[in-house]
Structure 1
Amino acid sequence: MLHSLFKRNYSLLLASTLLFMLTAGFSYKPAAMQEDPEICLSKEEQRMYDLIMAYRQQKKLPAIKISAALTKVAQIHARDLSMNKPNNADKCNMHSWSSKGNWTPCCYDSKHTQSQCMWSKPKEIAGFQADGFEIVSGSMDDNYIATSDAALAGWKKSPGHHAVIVNSGIWKQRTWQAIGIGVYKNYICVWVASVEDKNTVQKKCD
């Protein structure tokens, strides 16, 4: 019923565009280690995580555990947006994916005609057996440097993005169990899911 309700409300358009992705009704339990050795956080990615958690704490909300799977997806998407530019000002927004990787490409437009392509990315790229959703901050200008402070400031001003971060509005009944952060040059991607990922990220890239 929640999934149907979400689809009926999915026509909501956000200023910076949002990808809403419903979680599946089961737990994701990777069989391997508690820490993925291939995934690390840069200083800016760690700062983005810390800022979001600090803001949630101000709102008396619990911290969200870093997910290796969602961080992998976020980092790959930030790089794809910056390097391959699947988005454009006319049609494809920042939730689009290029054809230059081991994933299904798609042009994500304001009518959400490619929503399923996006919902499948955590499973397709990282084997995460649940859907998630993404918020993105960035610019097509190659000279722009995305920063965590600017990203959070912008999301606070956007009702849709803010609702995701603080679990308000249509997200009020959700409890985020996993978060992934990706920062690359002119883009910052944040993915969230209400399914726990047993694989975390503690390693620092720099």
Structure 2
Amino acid sequence: MKSFSLLLASSLVVFGLGGFHERPYPVATVCLSPEEKKLYDLIMVYRQENHLESIPLSAKLSQVAQIHARDLSEHYTFDPKNKCNPHSWSSHGKWTSCCYTNDHKKASCMWTKPQEIASYAGNGFEIAYYSSIGATAKEGLDGWKISPGHNPLLINSGKWENTKWKAIGVGIYKEYGLVWFGEVDDSAAPETCP
């Protein structure tokens, strides 16, 4: 079966807004699956090949990536003609649902997701990958490397040249792979799943 892949990039500005009296997800022990760890490692090798520093793993951004990958797999119907793209969130969780449109008019619905879910109070930038036969680290990174909208985030080029990534989170669930980049340190790193 030929894999159908789609790569998406979107800037998700996350403001440290008040008003979240109770986080829907408590501080949790976040762990990376072997495939998620492989994705992180492949990204760091790619950055090293481009003479860039490694980005520390973030438990908070990984938590958001993993929750979003699962939400997409279970509640989002992938279709390039869908008015809500894969940066959307369903109403099936303890978060504010939203339809993220390609014209970015409803982008504000995404800006608070890392804050809303994991108390990450910095800018968040998500890249997403879809494969009908299941997302893998290698296929995701290979696609992102040749994508003019994704590669610049990975290697800090173009409009991202002066950005200093201080945190990265990864999540893979079934057909979706997600990576979140942030400019704010996260002192907690995810563990490797047993």
Structure 1's 106 and 37: CA in aligned 2 closer, same or farther, altered over 3 A?
A: closer
| Cα shift readout 1:77-123 (whole Å, capped 9, x = no counterpart) | 00001011165432111111100001111111110122111111000
Q: How does 1:146-157 map to 2 (within 5 A)?
A: 146-157=135-146
Aligned partner of 2:118 in structure 1 is 126
Return the alpha-carbon distance in structure 1 between the equivalents of residues 128 and 8 of structure 2. Answer: 8
Matched, 1:21 2:9: no
Read off the aligned partner of 1:205 and give its amino acid letter. C
Aligned residue in 2 for 1:177: 166
**Conserved? CA contact 1:138–1:186, under 8 Å:** yes
Q: 1:85 to 1:22 in 2, by over 3 A?
A: closer
1:5-50 CA deviation, whole Å, 9 max, x = no partner? Answer: xxxxxxxxxx73311134669xxxxxxxxxx761001000000000
> Quick one: which amino acid aligns to residue 74 of structure 2?
M
1:94 aligns to 2:86 (yes or no):
yes
Q: TM-score, normalised by structure 2?
A: 0.86
2:85 maps to 1:85: no
Larger strand fraction of residues: 2
Q: Does 1:50 align with 2:50?
A: no
CA distance in 2: counterparts of 1:103 and 1:23, whole angstroms:
15
Indicate the percent of aligned positions where both proteins have the same amino acid: 47
1:55–1:123 Cα change, 3 Å: same
TM-score normalised by length of structure 1: 0.81
Task: Give the aligned partner of residue 6 of structure 1.
Answer: none
SS of the aligned residue for 2:31 comes to: coil
Q: Deviations over 1:103-162 (max 9, x none)?
A: 1111111101221111110000001112211000014x4xx1110100011001111100
Deviations 1:140-190 (A, max 9, x none): x4xx11101000110011111000000001100001000000010100010
Q: Which runs of 5+ in 2 are unaligned?
A: 1-5, 17-26
SS of the residue 2:129 aligns to: strand
Equivalent residue for 1:75, pick from 45, 66, 73: 66
Output the aligned Cα RMSD: 1.7
Matched, 1:165 2:163: no
Q: Does the residue aligned with 1:63 lie in a helix, a strand or coil?
A: coil
May I ask how many residue pairs the two structures share in their alignment? 178
Query: For residue 153 of structure 2, what is the amino acid of its counterpart?
Result: V
Partners in 2 of 1:17 and 1:80 — Cα distance? 16
Residue 55 of structure 2 corresponds to residue 64 of structure 1:
yes
